[in-house]
Amino acid sequence: MIKNIPNKYTQKMLLATIDEQFQGHYDFFYLPIDFKNKCNMGYAFINMFAPKYILPFVERFDSKKWDRFNSEKVACITYARIQGKAALISHFQNSSLMHERVAGEVSGWRICKVAHGARTW
């Protein structure tokens, strides 16, 4: 779980930042959106494809300032209460957020399918 994400980050921006080093290393991503304010809620869920990617992910992001928006927020990487792709999908699939749209995108929730290192949605 990623906490303290600047609220102006879009799903596309955050994924681009993550993908600089971790493209193809995760199979679930969810950035909750506040539809009233049209911004993210400051946290995201990510499931790494294999445990060996967790420590490098933590080392890259934990306790680091974000590059965009001159934000003073410092990223915090923590374990989420819900663990694993199947459990995350089960938990979020019936969320009311799944039925909202922001700028044509469904709420920032995406299940990543990884094949040969390439991400597809």
Summarised one tens digit per residue, pLDDT across range 101-115 is 444 454 444 555 444
For 54, left (φ over 0), alpha (ψ -120 to 50), or beta? Answer: alpha
Question: Nearest 5°: CA angle at 95, between 19 and 9?
Answer: 35
Tell me the CATH number of domain 2-120, given options 2.60.40, 1.10.8, 1.10.3470, 3.30.70.
Answer: 3.30.70
Q: What digits encode the pLDDT tens for the residues 6-62?
A: 999 988 899 999 999 999 899 888 888 887 888 899 999 999 989 999 999 999 999
